[in-house]
Amino acid sequence: MTTTSDPVLDIRGLTVTFGGGPKAVRALDGVDLTLGRGEVIALLGESGSGKSVTLRSILRLHPPKRSRIEGSIKVEGVDVTTLEGRALEAFRGKTVSMVFQEPMLAMDPVYTVGQQIMEAVRNHESISAADARARALEMLTLVRIPSPERRLQAYPHEMSGGMRQRAMIALALSSKPRILLADEPTTALDATVQVQVLLLLRELQRELGLSMIFVTHDISVAVEVADRIAVMYAGRIVETGTVRDVIRRPRHPYTIGLLSTRAHGGRLEGHRLPAIPGSPPDLANLPPGCAFAPRCAIAAEACRASVPEAVDVGGGHRVRCFRTADTANRIAALAPAVTS
């Protein structure tokens, strides 16, 4: 695992608000996150927790007229929030690139896969069409697409879901970025293909020395691909740590809830999986204290009164919770099978 002493990405106090006035929605609220060189972080949480908003903020993909970004997003020392025009265009794809959840929506249906990869390369490098075509072929070969020469001429709709996702990965890697953002890239795929794409991403990440943020709501996926896990809830990161620490010694009640809902060998067949009570909060009308307090079995009065700051519970394992002094014992009682 890579340390974050010299992070390639350093996010501080990131707050993203959509709309204005009484209908404003604060989708992210004070997010701090660092990504080391060659490191993989999994962003874990329910739908609507802010995972995809975080990735899109890094690439500045939110419409400026309908969103407001506060805080800093530094990539190799450059604050992305200050980039405009050609500098922003050069940053997207060349420094940081993204694999989207559904390639059919991310890729242009009227151009072949080869044309789209070639265009991406030539936007960032002054090379000939022939060299760009050679790069496109190299990328399709890299992501293990069968008959890559033939697939250069294929349109996205002519490829299977798994092959389209591989082509999306090839497109994202074509300009040799240093950071790869993956927004639930296996969600739309069936189980067998999911495994293949996950293994491919992890292999490419190691081979190319990429730093990567991988968004998922699946804990088993996070365990397979990540060095560290950041758990998000209601636009805030509530727990971060190594995969081992977060999975074996979770300290936030929300993390415990997520872990206890997974099936594992210690649970008897036919028994109902526990569920986190209630529903995720309305981001336009958050409670005054900890956003998870209404669903938390051990919430105290302080939890409902103010928002807890992140504290280190050892070894860089950070938790945003007032109950960190006794969660280790009390959470074990609430979900005894979590660490099995």
Written as tens digits, the pLDDT of the chain (340 aa) is 444 458 999 999 999 999 988 789 999 999 999 999 999 999 999 999 999 999 999 999 999 999 999 999 999 999 999 999 999 999 999 999 999 888 788 899 999 999 999 999 999 999 999 999 999 999 999 999 999 999 999 999 999 988 999 999 999 999 999 999 999 888 777 888 888 888 899 999 999 999 999 998 888 888 889 999 999 999 999 999 999 999 999 999 999 988 887 655 455 466 677 788 888 999 988 989 999 999 998 899 999 999 999 999 999 999 999 988 766 665 555 444 444 4
H or E element that contains 74:
strand 67-75
Q: What letters, b where the CB count within 10 A reaches 16 and e where it falls short, cover 125-138? A: eeeeeeebbebbbe
Contact partners, residue 294, CB within 8 Å, separation at least 6: 278, 281, 287
Give the gyration radius of the chain's Cα atoms. 21
> Does residue 65 contact residue 27 with C-beta atoms inside 8 Å?
no
Tokens read off for 156:
């996205």
Q: Which residues in the chain are classed under CATH 3.40.50.300?
A: 9-95+177-334
Contact partners, residue 222, CB within 8 Å, separation at least 6: 42, 44, 214, 216, 229, 243
Q: Choose among 17, 44, 20: nearest CA to 257.
A: 44
**Distance (Å, rounded) from C-alpha 136 to C-alpha 125?**
13
**Distance (Å, rounded) from C-alpha 91 to C-alpha 84?**
10
CATH architecture under which domain 9-95+177-334 falls: 3-Layer(aba) Sandwich (3.40)
**Distance (Å, rounded) from C-alpha 173 to C-alpha 203?**
13
H or E element that contains 40:
strand 40-44
Q: How far is CA 64 from CA 15, 16, 154, in A?
A: 14, 11, 35
- Whether this model's pTM surpasses 0.75: yes
Tokens read off for 244:
């081992």
A 10 A CB-CB count for 64 gives 9
> Does residue 171 contact residue 116 with C-beta atoms inside 8 Å?
yes
**Distance (Å, rounded) from C-alpha 143 to C-alpha 129?**
21
The pLDDT, as a whole number, for residue 177 is 95
